[in-house]
Amino acid sequence: MLSVLIVEDEYEAAQRLHRMLMKWEPNTRVIGIADSIEKSVAILKSGNTPDLILLDIHIADGISFEIFEQVDVSCSVILTTAYDEYWQKSFELNSIDYLLKPISEDRLFKSLNKFRKLFEIQANRIVDSHWLRSMNSPKTRYRIRFLVDMGPAIGMIAVEQIAYFLAKEKLIEIHTFDGNHYQIKTSLDQLEEELEPRTFFRANRQVLVAARSIVKLHQYFNYKVKLELNPKTDTEIVISRQNVTAFKEWLSLN
């Protein structure tokens, strides 16, 4: 879920941006609508850091660039303004676009889609760096089994029996080589910490896959790689372009 701060001192303009955001992505979380430098700084200093700021340059108490002089902001920014003389200043910020008012829905969506691609690339780099850190700093002990609900009984699944883990809403499905699957309450982030990194790889945000389960690799559009697994799954398993190099390096060690 992406979080956004709207900095805009015109009420109707702020509400229109809010409506367009919800139309673009209904799960977007707007952490606040600030109409001044003071309110913007207060929100950013509260620790509720957004992934993106929609920033009007001229607001009630001055030029919004002053916000960045009072608080360290590392998130992306889309500038919105009725003036075009500030576009050079935008290069000093983490600005991904400069939108002149009145802002059309189509123009805003293009900027937001550009931001989403950059956001996903950054997320994939985090996945890569986590794996590299795990390989360079191995733990001495890793998870060897899981307790799972088997109806009236509690069963034990050895890690060697597991082909892959799938994230499904708030649960994780364990899929075993014999074609069965079981649900556990945890997260893929937690599993990455508990499992041997040479055995399991975080393919994407939804899947943690064992090397033994990979049957075939397929070239996919935009230099991605699609995995064919055993047992088969209806979920499409795609390695992003940014993650392919780390994946191939990991696979070569198995």
CA atoms of 160 and 152, how far apart (whole Å): 24
3-class state of residue 223 by DSSP: helix
Q: Cα dihedral angle (91, 57, 1, 222), rounded to 10 degrees? A: -30
Mean pLDDT of the chain: 85
What pLDDT was estimated at residue 200?
94
Residue 129's H or E segment, with its range, is: helix 105-136
What pLDDT was estimated at residue 11?
94
Mean pLDDT lowest among 41-45, 81-85, 112-116: 81-85
Domains and CATH numbers, the chain: 3-130 (3.40.50.2300), 145-252 (2.40.50.1020)
Residue in the structure block whose two tokens are 């508990």: 194
* 75-85 exposure pattern, b = at least 16 Cβ within 10 A, e = fewer: bbbbbbbeeee
CA distances from 207 to 1, 50, 128, 166, 233 (A): 18, 26, 14, 5, 11
Residue 105 has pLDDT above 90, yes or no: yes
What pLDDT was estimated at residue 47?
77
Model confidence pTM above 0.85: no
Tell me the pLDDT tens digit for each residue of 45-103: 987 789 899 999 989 899 998 998 898 887 888 988 877 665 555 555 667 788 888 89
Tell me the pLDDT tens digit for each residue of 154-199: 899 999 999 999 998 779 999 999 999 999 999 998 998 899 888 9
